[in-house]
Amino acid sequence: MKRAPLITGLLLISTSCAYASSGGCGADSTSGATNYSSVVDDVTVNQTDNVTGREFTSATLSSTNWQYACTCSAGKAVKLVYMVSPVLTTTGHQAGYYKLNDSLDIKTTLQTNDIPGLVTDQTVSVNTRFTQIKSNTVYSAATQTGVCQGDTSRYGPVNIGANTTFTLYVTKPFLGSMTIPKTDIAVIKGAWVDGMGSPSTGDFHDLVKLSIQGNLTAPQSCKINQGDVIKVNFGFINGQKFTTRNAMPDGFTPVDFNITYDCGDTSKIKNSLQMRIDGTTGVVDQYNLVARRRSSDNAPDVGIRIENLGGGVANIPFQNGILPVDPSGHGTINMRAWPVNLVGGELETGKFQGTATITVIVR
């Protein structure tokens, strides 16, 4: 039997795995980072905005231009990937907000296209801190867009993220001046990859730190006695009964008067208010407001003393004398005043008058 020849063949296909390499990117140097800061300096928050739930946008970020400096070798073609993470750790009144201080929450919003590959506005939160923002652009020194260390044909300069906005949310109204020290709010991190994969979380390096700083002022309008001058009239005094040193005239009845104030509704404000009274015509031994000086030697001979009837304080000083203000922001303080002979003996006849100012202090 004749056998037919058999022909056999074998196809060998060798396979290999190509792994994408990746690493970090810095600003101007592989370990560098730049800072963009929103400076809210000397900003006045009016009473309309100084209420819980009110929001306002902070000042535009001040930024500087810089160039990528990635750890890839010179000449390598790579893609850039970004992550943005919050720096603040205490969550605010709702998702996306973080506690800036006792009165303000802050929200960070990235703007569309402000970071390559960002196709929609994005609020920075704990939920997005590992979300990678990828751009399909390939960067290479061969196309004059090198981003690797050692590349001579560099891409940039750039200022990605400079249009980021901070939204401030009033959680508790405040009074007076509020200083916001320089505070990092969020950070933009960068990495490179030379294939289809994604960088690991550890590859990312800080590129841009987003911060806020400045000073806010919330003035509070307080009206005392409807804006009128408080006048206390002691009437006519018999000089023969006004001779004892550091005492009121014999048989004299002190004069009661009221200080009525209205500072608006301060019940929801964390600050406290106080009134301070200071003599403007001179003070003797802190408790005696100078009301007249003797013509012969200019020595104070008549003084005025006051007390807070509701506070149980016998004498209120005329140097940084403190009067309480009700937490509601409005009320009445019942006061009492009387004249005092400062030198002893019979005094010259004539008028006497002392003046003092009342200042509302925010604490």
Q: Are residues 233 and 345 in the same domain?
A: yes
Domain hosting residue 26, numbered range: 22-218
pLDDT for 8 equals 46
Q: Residue type at 30?
A: T
Is 13 a domain residue?
no
Q: Are residues 31 and 145 in the same domain?
A: yes
Q: What CATH number did the domain enclosing 313 receive?
A: 2.60.40.1090
Q: Are residues 277 and 135 in the same domain?
A: no
Is 9 a domain residue?
no
Is 11 a domain residue?
no
Q: What is the spatial distance between Cα 334 and Cα 260, in angstroms, rounded to a whole number?
A: 9
Q: Are residues 79 and 103 in the same domain?
A: yes
Is 17 a domain residue?
no
pLDDT for 43 equals 84
Q: Are residues 229 and 167 in the same domain?
A: no
Q: Are residues 175 and 283 in the same domain?
A: no
Q: Considering 187, 218, 249, which residue would you say is the last residue of a domain?
A: 218
Structure token pair of residue 268: 């929801």
Q: How many CB atoms lie within 10 A of CB 268?
A: 12
Q: Are residues 122 and 254 in the same domain?
A: no
Going by C-alpha positions, the residue among 281, 33, 35, 330 that lies closest to residue 182 is 35
Distances in Å between the Cα of 32 and the Cα atoms of 94, 124, 240, 306 are 33, 22, 85, 65
Structure token pair of residue 165: 């906005």
Contacts of 87 (CB under 8 A, 6+ apart): 184, 185, 186, 187, 209
Q: Which residues of the chain have pLDDT under 70?
A: 1-19, 270, 312-313, 363
Is 192 a domain residue?
yes
Q: What is the spatial distance between Cα 81 and Cα 137, in angstroms, rounded to a whole number?
A: 10
| Strand, helix or coil for residue 241 | helix
Q: Are residues 28 and 75 in the same domain?
A: yes
pLDDT for 128 equals 87
Q: Are residues 156 and 265 in the same domain?
A: no
Q: Considering 159, 194, 218, which residue would you say is the last residue of a domain?
A: 218
Number of domains making up the chain: 2
DSSP annotation string for 248-314: PPTTPPPEEEEEEEE----TT-SS-EEEEEEESS-EETTTEEEEEE-TTT--EEEEEEEEETTTTBS
Is 2 a domain residue?
no
pLDDT for 11 equals 47
Distances in Å between the Cα of 342 and the Cα atoms of 128, 244, 319, 350, 354 are 74, 9, 17, 15, 14
pLDDT for 90 equals 95
Q: What CATH number did the domain enclosing 45 receive?
A: 2.60.40
pLDDT for 3 equals 54
- Given a contact cutoff of 8 angstroms between Cβ atoms, the answer to whether 189 and 124 are in contact is no
Beta bridge partners of 82: 133, 190
Q: Are residues 327 and 301 in the same domain?
A: yes
